Every structure is written in structure tokens, then in C-alpha cells.
Structure 1
């Protein structure tokens, strides 16, 4: 009897270790998959604040909450099942879909670069007759539609990184990535859009040092938003280009990946003190150049099609 109890306890300990190892494995996979989606996350963080611009400050956090809820719904109710079905029945389609999303990121980034260079910015025109409630609903709806594309890229990147794992592991990793990234992105967005209010509040305090910090926040936020916009654009182009380079290699066209890898290795050997940083920078730069070229070509085609449609309408 005691020996049986010992054996049972030994089995329980073994199962516990196995479960703990599985949880560690899932956590590591989720962390790795989430880190690969960082460029899309930066863009998502940079894009979202514009949806609360021009609206009542009292409605900023509720609106961000609605968008965050829509984002988690996009990821868990639509993208997660679709991703798992693809992984189970058409794993070959993951790379082409990921590349299509990468091309879209390149296009979006190239559009912003073209607008910055040309000075022509496509602004959304709001309906002057819309009530505040209708305007808010329109903003939230538009943000959730944009989020669906960005969330699709995040989930596809995460899925591609765990495509060789069991389906249950894939599901858990995608759920963890979805929750962590949504909480992180919209938590940062909430902090960004309320930073002005925080600064104003601090500027009213008695302490001169606290007042200075408050005034610094108010004055600095426009610059932070400008930098965030540039970083978001660069991240889109770099990540989109990287997805295309990796996808082409998986489809048998490894030339671009080899060229970028060789250039990165050569540059890193030239600066051994910063080997890793130099290799990463050159790889990102190479991916970004390819992404900008691809995005620029797509942007030119899209603009030409719009022109032709305009002429046809006339």
C-alpha cells in the first residue's frame, strides 16, 4: 500500500512537471510569436489615437475601450478560428496569406511616405450633419475595421511561428498573444491620448518641479505623436518587407534573403563591437528597401486605377 501511494505520488509529480514544461513551452512560444509582430503593434499604436481626435475628452477612454473590445473580438471570434482551420486543413495557405498582408503593410507605409514627400494628405471628411453619437459610432467602426487588418497580420505572424506545434498549443499561444497585445496596445494608446490631461493636472500642482513636468508633457506630446507616426510608418515597411523576404524564401525564391543576410553578416564583421546591433539594422534596412519598392509599386498601381475610374465616371 505505501509503495502504491509512493508510485501514485511519483506519477503525479511527473505529470505536474510535464504540465509545467508544457506551460513554459507555450509561454515561450507566445513570447517569441508576439515579439515577431512588434512592427505591426507599433503601427497599431500609432494609428489608433487619431480616431479620438476632435471628440470630447470625456469620451476618449470609453471610445478606446470600445475599440479594444472590438479588437479582441476580431482576434478571438474571427481570426483565431480562421487561423486554426487554415493550420489544420490548408497550412500551405499561411505563407501566401502572410505575404499578402505583408504587401498591404508595405503599401500602407509607402502611401504615408508618398504623402509626406508630396505634401498631399488624404483626410477623412466627416459629415457635418452627424450627431456626436453618430460621429463616435463612425469613428469606432472605422477603427475596428482597420484593426481587423492589423490584427490579422499579428495573428498570422504568431500562427506562422507555431505552425509546427500541436493544434491545442497553437490555440493557447494565439489566445495569449491576442490578449497580451490588445491589452498592451490599447493601454499605451489610452496613456498617450490622456497624456495632455495628465500634464495639465500636474501643471496645476504646488510644486514647481511637478509643474515643470506637467508643462513638459503638454508641450512634448505633439512631438511624441510625430515621432510615433514616423516609427509606425518605418515599422510597417520594415516588417512588411521582412515578411515578403521570408515568404519568398519559403516559396523557393531565396535570392533576396541571401543578399540581405550576406550584407548584414559583412557589415557586422566590420564592426565586431556591435555585431548583433549592426546585423539587425542592416537586415531591417534591407527588408525596408524591398518593402518600400513593393509598396511604392502597389501604391502607383492603386492610384492609376483610381484615376482611370475617375475618368470613366466623367
Structure 2
């Protein structure tokens, strides 16, 4: 009996070692996949704070929590199963779906620019009433979750490409880990950003050296949030344009992507002491311009064509 018990314990130990090795493999693969998607993660972090700007301080964290739950639901309930099934049975369909999502991001970014240029201004009382309304909160949360869906799909697609050689079950576990970690990272950072001014206010009301830091945070955070709003809009255009370019290249229409890459490399060589940064900037700017062009076409189609058709109908 003792020999049987020892054999059983040996088997349990072997299974435990195998499980530990599997956990290490999953962790390493999830880290690798997450690193590959870090560019889109940064964009997601930059985009989200603008959906919270203007709300009362006590509503900021609850709104971020609602968006975070929606983001996790996007990844786990919708994107993960669809991505796994498509990668298993219809891998060719992933790129067109991503391109449709990219076009939506281009539209979102161009729409924000159109609203800024067109100047949809409201008086202060009307704007305050709007910002405090439940309907406005629902609108902003749903808008943030829709935008997150596209960015999350891109993150999960990048992660999926990194683990395509794994078994179906291991792919599922790795992508679940990526979804959980990236959602926690993005919305943890977003929560920290939007509450930094409240922290600054507490420090400013204290004593000692912390008062100066607190005042700096109170004065600086509105500018940071305003900058993030601009960065978030630019990120939509950049990511959307990049998705379209990569998709076209996969379908054999890579002339534009190759030309942009060649220009970026040439610009990087022209400034050797900062070649990598210049190359990235040129390629990012080019993707954003492509995204702006695509988004502008969609905005024009949605805003101006219906008006012209209505004018013709009136005659």
C-alpha cells in the first residue's frame, strides 16, 4: 500500500510540475502577445478619458468602472469566442472584419474633428445640464464601449496572431489572460489619470512640500486631459488607418503601405541620431492621414448626401 501511495504521490507531483510548466508557458505567451499589442493599448488608454471629461468627480470612477465592465464583456463574451472560431474555421474572414472596424474608428476620429471645426457650441447652463443628465452619461458610456470594441478586437487579433501555433484550448486560455490583464491595465491607468486632479486638490489643502505638488497637479491635469482628448482622436485615425493599410496589404494591395514604409525609412535615415523615432512618427502620421481621408469620406456621406437628397426632394 505504501508503494502505491508513493507512486500516487509521484504521479501527483508530475502532474503539478506539468501544470506549473503550462502556467509558465501561458504567462510567457500572454506576455509576448500583450507586448505586441501595446501600441493599441496605449491608444485605448488615450481615447477613454475624453468620455469622462466634464462629469462631476463622484461620477468619474463609476463611469470608468461601467466602461471597464463593458470592455471586458466585449473581449470575453463577444470577441474571444468569435476570434477563436474564425481562426479555426474561417481565418480569411478576420481581416475584412477588422477593416470594417478600422473604418469605424476613422469615422469616429473624423467626426470629432468635424464637430470641432463646425463649432457646435452650447451656452454654459445648457452644457452643464447636459453633462449632469443620466441620458448623457448613458450616451457617453455606450459610445466608449463601442469604440473600445474596435480597439479590443485589434488587441485580441494581434494577440491571436502571436499564439496561432498553439492548440485551440491553449489559445483560448492565453487570450483570456490577455483580455483580463489588458483591461485591468488600461482602465486602472485611466482611473488614475482622471482622479489625479482630486489627489492634487487634497495635497494642495495639506501642508509642507506636498502643497506645491498638489497645486501643480490641480493646474496641470486639465491641460493633460485636454491633450489626451486630442491624442485620443488622433489615435482613432492612426489605428483605423493602420488597420486599413495592413488589411489592403494582406489582400495584395500593398502599394500604399509599402510607399509609406519606404518614406518613413528614408526619413529615419535622414536623421540618424533619432532614426527610429522619426521613422515611427512618419509612418504614424501617414496612417493617420489615410484614416482622416477615409473618415472624411464617411462623414461627408452621412452628413451631406442626405441633405442634398432632401433638397432635391423638396424641389
TM-score (norm 1): 0.81
Runs of at least 4 residues off by over 6 Å: 7-14, 131-135
Number of the residue aligned with 1:241: 241
- In structure 2, the residue matched to 1:291 is 291
Structure 1 distance, partners of 2:99, 2:137, is 33
Answer with 288-297 or 134-143: which moved more. Answer: 134-143
Distance in 2 (alpha carbons) for counterparts of 1:280 and 1:135: 37
Matches within 5 A, 1:16-27: 19=22, 22-23=25-26, 25-27=28-30
Q: CA deviation at 1:176?
A: 2.3
Deviations 1:117-143 (A, max 9, x none): x242488x99x79x9767656654554
Q: Cα 1:120–1:62, aligned 2, differ >3 Å: closer, same or farther?
A: same
SS at match of 2:52: helix
Q: Deviations over 1:141-181 (max 9, x none)?
A: 55444544443343344334544543233323322222122
**1:45 corresponding residue in structure 2:** 48
Q: Which residue of 1 aligns with 2:91?
A: 91
93-102 or 17-26: which moved more? 17-26
Bigger CA drift: 150-159 or 136-145? 136-145
CA 1:179–1:24: 2 relative to 1, 3 Å: closer
**Higher mean Cα deviation, 93-102 or 266-275?**
266-275
- Please give the per-residue CA displacement for 1:214-260, whole angstroms capped at 9, x wherever unaligned: 22212212111110011111111111111111111100101011101
Does the 8 Å contact 1:163/1:170 carry over to 2?
Answer: yes
Bigger mean CA offset, 75-84 vs 150-159: 150-159
The 1:152/1:311 distance shift into structure 2, 3 A limit, reads farther
Q: Which runs of 5+ in 2 are unaligned?
A: none
Structure 1 portions without partners, runs of 5+: none
**Which residues in structure 2 correspond to 1:1-314 (within 5 Å)?**
15=18, 19=22, 22-23=25-26, 25-38=28-41, 40-50=43-53, 53-55=54-56, 57-116=57-116, 118-121=117-120, 140-141=141-142, 143-207=144-208, 209-308=209-308
The 2-side partners of 1:166 and 1:30 are apart by 15
Do 1:203 and 1:210's aligned partners in 2 also have CA atoms closer than 8 Å?
A: yes
| CA–CA distance in structure 2, aligned partners of residues 268 and 143 of structure 1 | 35
Deviation of 1:295 (Å): 1.4
Question: What per-residue deviation string (whole Å, max 9, x for no partner) do you get for residues 85-115 of structure 1?
Answer: 2212211110001111111111111222233
Total equivalences in the alignment: 305
Contact 2:26-2:170 at 8 Å conserved across structures = no
Q: Using the alignment, how far apart are the partners of 2:92 and 2:121 within structure 1?
A: 37
Whole-Å separation in 1 of the counterparts to 2:257 and 2:172: 30
Instruction: Using the TM superposition, give the Cα deviation of residue 8 of structure 1 relative to its aligned residue in structure 2, in angstroms.
Output: 8.4
Please provide the CA RMSD for this pair. 3.5
Cα distance between partner residues in 1 of 2:273 and 2:13 = 50
Superposition deviation, residue 197 in structure 1: 1.9
Q: Secondary structure at the match of 1:37?
A: helix
Q: 1:215 and 1:256, CA in 2 relative to 1: closer, same or farther beyond 3 A?
A: same
- 1:259 and 1:68 mapped to 2: Cα distance? 38
Contact kept, 8 Å, 2:45 with 2:190, in 1: the verdict is no
Q: Please give the alpha-carbon distance, in whole angstroms, between the structure 2 residues aligned to 1:218 and 1:249.
A: 46
Indicate if the aligned counterparts of 2:105 and 2:150 stay in contact, CA closer than 8 A. no
- Give, in whole Å, the separation in 2 of the partners of 1:138 and 1:252: 39
